[in-house]
Amino acid sequence: MTTIPEDAIKHARRGDKIAAIKITREQTGLSLEDAKKAVEAYRDNPNECSGTDEPRHSGEIPRRAIAALERGQLVEAVRHLRKETGAGMKTSKQRLERHLADNPALAIKYKAASSAAIGRLIAKVAGVLILLGLVAVAYTNGI
Cα separation, 26 vs 47, in Å, equals: 22
% of the chain residues with pLDDT over 70:
90
Domain count, the chain: 2
Cα separation, 68 vs 80, in Å, equals: 9
- What letters, b where the CB count within 10 A reaches 16 and e where it falls short, cover 68-84? bbebbbbeebbbbbbeb
Number of neighbouring beta carbons within 10 Å of residue 64: 15
Instruction: Please tell me whether residues 67 and 36 are part of one structural domain.
Output: no
- Tell me what pLDDT residue 53 has: 37
- Tell me what pLDDT residue 55 has: 38
Q: Are 27 and 7 in contact (CB under 8 A)?
A: yes
Indicate if the pLDDT at residue 34 is higher than 90: no
Reported residue count of the chain is 143
> Of 14, 30, 55, which residue constitutes the final position of a domain?
55
- Tell me what pLDDT residue 42 has: 84
In a domain, 98, yes or no: yes
Cα separation, 64 vs 57, in Å, equals: 15
Tens-place pLDDT, residues 48-79: 554 433 334 445 888 899 999 999 999 999 99
Indicate if the pLDDT at residue 5 is higher than 90: no
Cα separation, 9 vs 4, in Å, equals: 7
Instruction: Please tell me whether residues 37 and 64 are part of one structural domain.
Output: no
Instruction: Please tell me whether residues 51 and 61 are part of one structural domain.
Output: no
- Tell me what pLDDT residue 19 has: 93
Instruction: Please tell me whether residues 41 and 67 are part of one structural domain.
Output: no
Specify the pTM. 0.49
In a domain, 50, yes or no: yes
In a domain, 88, yes or no: yes
Instruction: Please tell me whether residues 33 and 61 are part of one structural domain.
Output: no
Instruction: Please tell me whether residues 68 and 89 are part of one structural domain.
Output: yes
In a domain, 18, yes or no: yes
Instruction: Please tell me whether residues 72 and 110 are part of one structural domain.
Output: yes
Q: pLDDT band at residue 137, thresholds of 50, 70 and 90?
A: very high
Instruction: Please tell me whether residues 32 and 46 are part of one structural domain.
Output: yes
Who wins on pLDDT, 32 or 47?
32
Tens-place pLDDT, residues 78-125: 999 998 888 888 989 999 999 999 888 888 889 898 888 888 889 999
> Of 55, 75, 95, which residue constitutes the final position of a domain?
55
Q: What value does the mean pLDDT of the chain take?
A: 84
Range of the domain at 26: 1-55
> Of 34, 55, 76, which residue constitutes the final position of a domain?
55
Cα 6 to Cα 16, 25, 36, 130, distances in angstroms: 14, 13, 15, 60
| Among 9, 18, 81, 73, CA closest to 45 | 9
Cα 123 to Cα 12, 72, 116, 130, distances in angstroms: 53, 17, 11, 10
